[in-house]
């Protein structure tokens, strides 16, 4: 149980228009009336200077991913407040958030973060991902990706690209390329080709303590490497190493939060006229 009296909260919004939205204004007012001190933040420095014990990420899943970069390895938990459309990371309605924080009916779960190593990643790029890491072709040429799992070579993937996702990211880009839905608490990674030219390759689920190494083959001038919502251009022949980071992201989960219910409500899982009879 978390009691909110004199609790310091930080709030992060990528869309400034949300500051005037009625649901968000009502949320902030309810929290302040309950004794919470709320500080708007835009940068990691502002977050750390605020002394906040929790960060509210207000928006959609993209906002949550940006908030994860602000938090990084600080140990400050993030609570996603849904002001967008779909929202698996930012799944919580503003009114439910106020009630949960003021009553302390919430818990904190550790979600894995991927660390990416590649010579093309400069000091100005945060080399971590919460949902997924991808490599993707930039031109017309097919991309060849040689994959090693803890040093063991897999057959070369020929595709538009390749994706390595966490269990948290199974309902994001991974889902759209045909990857499986994974319960977030599962300690696995998902390796999926993007539009593969090999008809006999399938997504692969591996233990999350494995190191995934990628070597890229392309006739194009460059290949795109993404880490959630951050992009880096790398040269053909680049080597990319991906493994679970030594720190995790602490995600606040409301007592009423339910992953299976979110699937049925947001993705219409099991939507079938026979289930209505």
| H or E element at residue 226 | strand 223-227
Give the start-end residues of each E strand in 83-199. 106-117, 128-129, 132-137, 143-149, 152-153, 157-166, 188-196
Q: What is the CA radius of gyration of the chain?
A: 20
| Whether 228 is catalytic | no
Other CB atoms within 10 A of residue 118 CB? 20
How do 143-149 and 106-117 pair as beta strands? unpaired
| Tokens read off for 210 | 């494995």
| H or E element at residue 101 | helix 94-103
Other CB atoms within 10 A of residue 266 CB? 15
Annotated active-site residue in 61, 123, 150, 160: 61
φ and ψ at residue 135, rounded to 5 degrees: -120, 140
Do the beta carbons of residue 141 and residue 218 sit within 8 Å?
yes
The CA distance from 274 to 277, in Å, is: 6
237 Cβ neighbours under 8 A, 6+ residues apart: 215, 216, 217
β partners of residue 196: 159
Q: Which residues does the annotation mark as catalytic?
A: 61
């Amino acid at each position: 149980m978390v009691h909110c009296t004199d609790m310091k909260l930080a709030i992060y919004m990528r869309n400034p228009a949300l500051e005037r939205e009625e649901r968000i204004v009502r949320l902030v007012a309810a929290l302040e009336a309950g004794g919470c001190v709320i500080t708007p933040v835009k940068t990691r420095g502002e977050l750390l200077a605020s002394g906040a014990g929790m960060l509210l990420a207000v928006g959609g899943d993209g906002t949550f991913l940006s908030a994860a970069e602000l938090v990084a390895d600080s140990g400050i938990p993030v609570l996603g407040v849904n002001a967008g459309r779909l929202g698996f990371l930012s799944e919580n309605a503003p009114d439910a958030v106020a009630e949960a924080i003021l009553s302390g009916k919430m818990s904190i779960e550790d979600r894995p973060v991927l660390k990416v190593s590649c010579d093309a990643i400069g000091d100005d790029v945060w080399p971590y991902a919460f949902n997924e890491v991808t490599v993707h072709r930039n031109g017309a040429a097919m991309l060849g990706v040689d994959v090693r799992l803890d040093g063991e070579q897999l057959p070369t993937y020929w595709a538009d690209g390749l994706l390595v996702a966490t269990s948290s990211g199974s309902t994001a880009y991974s889902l759209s390329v045909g990857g499986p839905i994974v319960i977030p608490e599962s300690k696995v990674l998902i390796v999926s080709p993007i539009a593969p030219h090999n008809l006999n390759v399938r997504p692969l689920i591996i233990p999350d303590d494995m190191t995934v190494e990628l070597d890229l083959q392309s006739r194009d001038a460059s290949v795109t490497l993404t880490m959630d919502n951050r992009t880096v251009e790398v040269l053909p022949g680049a080597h990319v190493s991906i493994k679970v980071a030594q720190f995790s992201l602490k995600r606040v989960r409301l007592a009423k939060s339910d992953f299976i219910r979110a699937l049925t409500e947001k993705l219409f899982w099991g939507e079938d006229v026979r289930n209505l009879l």
